[in-house]
Structure 1
Amino acid sequence: MEYTLIKHIITLTSILFLTSNHLKAENTETLFSAPDVFITSKIKPATNFEGDRGNILFESHELEKKRQYSIGGMLNDLPGMSSSSLGNASRPIIRGMSNSRVKILQNGSSLSDVSEFGEDHIVGYDPMLIDKIEIIKGPATLLYGNNAFAGVVNIINPLIAIDKDYQQQNAELNFGYSTSGGEIKTALKAGESIDNFIVRGSGSFLSSGSYDLANTSSKQANSAKSSFTGGIGVTYNDGDNFFGFSADKLEAEYSLPGGEGEENRTTLNPTRNSVNFNSSFAINSNTIEKFNLEATVSEYNHAERVLADKHNIEFFNDTYEIKTSINHKSLFTNNGGGLFGFHYQNLDQGAEGDEESHLTKTKTYSYGIFVLENLNFNSYDIDLGGRLESVNIKNSNHERGYFPVSFSSTIKRNFFSNNLSFVGFDLTQRAPNPVELFANGPHHALENFENGEASLNTETSYNFSLGNIYSNNSNSLKIEAYLNYIDDFIAADRDGTTKVVEGEDFNNVIHEQYNALFSGIELTGKYNILTFNDYDFLSNISADFLKGYKTSTDKAISRVPQSKINFGLQMLNDTLDSNIMYNHYFDKEFIGPFQTRTGGHSRLDFDITKDFSYSSLNGHLMFSVLNLLDVVGRSHLESKKDTVQLPGRSFNFMLKLFY
């Protein structure tokens, strides 16, 4: 079996090499992305986004190889990243921080969904339409509010053209197929420029049956999925100023594995509608550089439909957001520029049904002011940020007010050639979310009965990090260590009891506060082994190790991910990219209350991509094998780990065309 598999891979690789003799290559990555501009940059668009503390840019071909139904799973192999999950659903975790501690954005604006309220909820965006994902830590997170406590995950597919169109192509078509579940996915993007006006549109479709399990002919029960997404944007952009509107829609449906009885197997049908406005205007002033204004209106809902036609609860989140900011020029000798602004959010959230309720309708109002400054003293580059916020959360029975304060700093210096060293300190506060405060009812998909605690206080993080980035042509090494002490950490833990819901025993989950300590180290590196016949042969490595525990008892905190290490070999030239990657997830034995040990597992992945061009048509063809050796594995953060396995081996094909 393994011999036949390897023979097929070698055959396909040979075909791709032969094809290169007849087709001219174009190194085209995406239709919409403007070169070297990151809309979440701290003060100005940055050409070295990953040169900042903790930042990761996940884009183009690397992103294509990892596309999954939900965004959390796409980021799992990156250092410092993991995801909470239940079957198809997943949400990113940054350095062990989950749910409302991680802010999910769409093109710099809030993405309305309820993924922070449960592992069974997907992030409300289709990965097929994503051009880039920015992962941000440090001072830049202060632009985005109370929920950016641990970091920001910014999904980029700019329907609003924040930069002039540099791409010559008018259309981009993606088509993919996976043998696991017979998954079919396609996406179309199109754009047209008329003078200073730019129109962009996009749409996608995905359909899949239940995915294949490893080392067996069986499938993971209740893991079918589908989605449809569409959007359009219109922008005026003269190179110095822009303003634009966009509207997009997501409709999806996916099943979740449950308990033995039909009454616990659930189907969700997320729907999200968003309208966004974004603008920036250059100011002809000695001190002011530009004025920025953003606004978002978004509505999200899904019904959790149990297959036995019981307990149909609707989760909803309606978001209204306005953010305005001013970029200023240098105000004094050591000032490299800065930004200050105002941020307003109004959220209507809840989870209610005809017969029972999980969370009664709750309104959250927040008002925040923020400032970011860049300073230069001799050879030191310093980024400072601060944010003051007022958060009011209320429903028909309770009302709580909070005033979180946050400060963040990073100091950078080149002590040696090709090396950038940095040290960072952050003091950040987070108000509880509505579920942590006011939940009172069953969450059937998770088989939990969740109890909020209305007396919860603000949690406060004191984070210290230290690292170094080496970069010299194709060779690089980035290492960062961090220590994060959290005062009044808000935990959702089982208390060891159960509650009977319609004849089923549900775990009783309470929200409590205690002091916690998280520590970890992250490493990424790449080395150019040799160059032969215009091909670069490179090796790469990434690793992260994380521990989180309750300081009063030295016992583990629930939902801390497994440590991991990845090794890879890459063959690369202007027209072809081929990789083989070994991913290892370590045993998880230091575990929280009422958790069980998770064994380690390894996964071997292979991919090869060939660029081509013919007349006015160009693009690339990709073939990949995930979990090449068909190894059985489980995620420690899978809500139903005993019944849900990670996917088995899958063969994947993708064709991307530009016209």
Structure 2
Amino acid sequence: MRKISSSSKSFRLSTIASLSLLACSSWAQGNATLTPVIVTANPLGTSELIAPVDQLNNEELLQRGQSTLGETLNGLPGVSSSYFGPNASRPVIRGLDSDRITILNNGGASLDLSSLSPDHAVALDPLLIERIEVLRGPGVLQYGGSAVGGVVNVIDGRIPRAPLFGAEGGVSGRLDAGFATGNKEQGGAVVLETGTKRYTLHVDAMSRKTEDVSVPVALDCTKNGVTRTDRRICNSASETYGGAVGGTMHFDRGYLGASLSTYDKNYGAVAEDEVTIRMRSNRYALEGELRELGPFFQSVKAQYSLTDYAHTEFEGSAAGTRFKTRGQDLRLEARHARIGQLDGVVGLQFDSSDFSANGDEAYAPNSRTRSSAAFVHEELGTGWGKLSAGARLESVRVESLGIAGNTAFTPGARSFNPASYALGALWNVAPEWQLTSNVSLNERAPRHYELYANGEHVATNAEEIGNANLDKERSANVD
């Protein structure tokens, strides 16, 4: 798709307020340098990271002012986007995209169909994101062997992992509002948090509305049989709403939290003048951690999520093809006690997802995917720096269920056992100077549409033909 430049001025206003029932502490005068906190790049919590990591906090996200995850990250070192108009864009890391990039939500699975087609939007909006991390190296194997290019972790704070207030309680909030001239965007978000030392409640909501994007050239637009010419990208408007409720109970040696979130988006698919996509995603998450468990384990953490996602592609006012996916993700992670200079995490992960497509433009059959994995991530301190190693073993089963009455798709099933390994090193070559290196060997099981697709993909003007005999995809990577 050709990307047409547009001239736009955007304005953002962010207000942060906090009210605490405790007396305010006085702060000493002077300058302080704070090290960015990386939540998932290194589960061991050390500040010296072997793998390259990029991070955007809420203030930087507001300054970028983009409406999609891909365009928000576009321009970071090694990161571009799969831009398919202003409403659909996934991150591309070192030239790798789609299922070779894993998108996480608070370290857990983020399920949608954005990897199936470039016109499918990611079910996340930057307005409600606190921080984004782009991760690479041995540590990403704990999130999936298919993350050859890296991992994008979106953090929204809907399940607070530590108390935000003292014993007497308090309230804090954030209000963001903005508009842009190029597409007449109007958007805003509000985040409220309250609680005490023992519990925290979180509520957030957002909305964003845009019109067709202004451009410096005249373009044709045909709707309802009438063609007009205008200096706008036809069918590029959008309307988005989202929100969540979450809460956490805090204990002396851990926490337990849950959240419920919803995301609705109605947007134009710019490849066709009259095609719009209406999507909805509901996500339920549960998370907990126990610490100081004894001589063998420092902590044990569990994360579970259930996602219901669906979108319908409309041609004018007529509903066309409907895509649905429902998936669950369970992660169990244990940090073992230190053995000399060796520190590490071992874990298990279980995923299941069901996919269906119904309509004239369904080019992939209904399918079921089940996977389980065991992973390990270890770091060893040395006199000259440290070593890092990771490994992941998976079992994946992909099953085609066909589509009733459609002879283009036949039932079938394949099983795979991918294995991925990574090794990294950090050298302290001089004061304030470090040298790092990473090497990995990855295997990825093919997705259901890579195996069983058979039909026309109108959005990309391509004929999608899967190969049920595909083997595992293998890659070698060096940093």
2:325 to 310, 317, 324: 317
**d(CA) in 1 for partners of 2:52, 2:376:** 20
Is 1:334 the counterpart of 2:333? The answer is no
The 3 A distance-change label for structure 1 pair 38 and 442 is same
| CA-CA distance at 1:308 after TM superposition | 7.2
Q: What is the SS of the residue equivalent to 2:429? A: coil
Amino acid of the structure 2 residue aligned with 1:338: G
Amino acid of the structure 1 residue aligned with 2:186: I
Considering only aligned residues, what root-mean-square deviation do their CA atoms show, in Å?
Answer: 2.3
- 2:29 matched to which residue of 1? none
Q: 1:145-294, aligned counterparts within 5 Å?
A: 145-165=144-164, 170-214=172-216, 218-238=231-251, 240-259=253-272, 265-294=274-303
**d(CA) in 1 for partners of 2:469, 2:162:** 47
| CA-CA distance at 1:284 after TM superposition | 3.4
- 2:118 matched to which residue of 1? 119
Instruction: Say if 1:159 and 1:200, in contact at 8 Å, map to a contact too.
Output: yes
**d(CA) in 1 for partners of 2:392, 2:353:** 20
| CA-CA distance at 1:440 after TM superposition | 1.3
| CA-CA distance at 1:258 after TM superposition | 2.7
Instruction: Say if 1:161 and 1:237, in contact at 8 Å, map to a contact too.
Output: no
| CA-CA distance at 1:247 after TM superposition | 0.5
What are structure 2's unaligned runs of at least 5 residues? Answer: 1-6, 12-33, 219-229, 402-410
**d(CA) in 2 for partners of 1:169, 1:413:** 44
**d(CA) in 2 for partners of 1:188, 1:220:** 30
Instruction: Say if 1:404 and 1:458, in contact at 8 Å, map to a contact too.
Output: yes
- TM-score, L = length of structure 1: 0.62
| CA-CA distance at 1:227 after TM superposition | 0.4
- 1:74 matched to which residue of 2? 72
Residue range with higher mean Cα deviation, 295-304 or 446-455:
446-455
Instruction: Say if 1:109 and 1:296, in contact at 8 Å, map to a contact too.
Output: yes
Amino acid of the structure 2 residue aligned with 1:44: L
Q: 1:180-579, aligned counterparts within 5 Å?
A: 180-214=182-216, 218-238=231-251, 240-259=253-272, 265-307=274-316, 309=318, 312-331=320-339, 333-335=340-342, 337-353=343-359, 355=360, 357-396=362-401, 397-465=411-479
> Per-residue displacement from partner, 1:96-125 (whole Å, max 9, x unpaired)?
111001001111111110011011011111
- 1:84 matched to which residue of 2? 82
**d(CA) in 2 for partners of 1:215, 1:395:** 46
| CA-CA distance at 1:464 after TM superposition | 1.4
Amino acid of the structure 1 residue aligned with 2:431: S
Amino acid of the structure 2 residue aligned with 1:242: Y
Amino acid of the structure 1 residue aligned with 2:56: F
**d(CA) in 2 for partners of 1:85, 1:317:** 23
Amino acid of the structure 1 residue aligned with 2:321: I
| CA-CA distance at 1:212 after TM superposition | 1.4
Instruction: Say if 1:42 and 1:139, in contact at 8 Å, map to a contact too.
Output: no
Q: Percent identity?
A: 26
> Per-residue displacement from partner, 1:432-484 (whole Å, max 9, x unpaired)?
1111111112222223221111111111111111xxxxxxxxxxxxxxxxxxx
Instruction: Say if 2:146 and 2:442, in contact at 8 Å, map to a contact too.
Output: no
| CA-CA distance at 1:405 after TM superposition | 0.3
Amino acid of the structure 2 residue aligned with 1:92: P
- 1:519 matched to which residue of 2? none
- 1:60 matched to which residue of 2? 58
What are structure 1's unaligned runs of at least 5 residues? Answer: 13-33, 466-659
| CA-CA distance at 1:350 after TM superposition | 3.0
| CA-CA distance at 1:47 after TM superposition | 4.3
- TM-score, L = length of structure 2: 0.85
Q: What is the SS of the residue equivalent to 1:170? A: strand
**d(CA) in 2 for partners of 1:166, 1:143:** 32
Instruction: Say if 1:405 and 1:428, in contact at 8 Å, map to a contact too.
Output: yes
Q: What is the SS of the residue equivalent to 1:177? A: strand
| CA-CA distance at 1:180 after TM superposition | 1.4
- 1:44 matched to which residue of 2? 44
**d(CA) in 1 for partners of 2:162, 2:37:** 8
Instruction: Say if 1:352 and 1:359, in contact at 8 Å, map to a contact too.
Output: no
| CA-CA distance at 1:384 after TM superposition | 0.6
Amino acid of the structure 2 residue aligned with 1:320: Q
Instruction: Say if 1:37 and 1:46, in contact at 8 Å, map to a contact too.
Output: no
| CA-CA distance at 1:394 after TM superposition | 0.3
- 2:408 matched to which residue of 1? none
Instruction: Say if 2:201 and 2:246, in contact at 8 Å, map to a contact too.
Output: yes
Instruction: Say if 2:361 and 2:457, in contact at 8 Å, map to a contact too.
Output: no
**d(CA) in 2 for partners of 1:47, 1:238:** 26
**d(CA) in 1 for partners of 2:329, 2:294:** 28
The 3 A distance-change label for structure 1 pair 53 and 41 is closer
> Per-residue displacement from partner, 1:83-106 (whole Å, max 9, x unpaired)?
112112111111111100100111
Amino acid of the structure 2 residue aligned with 1:43: P
| CA-CA distance at 1:221 after TM superposition | 1.1
| CA-CA distance at 1:323 after TM superposition | 0.6
**d(CA) in 2 for partners of 1:38, 1:163:** 15
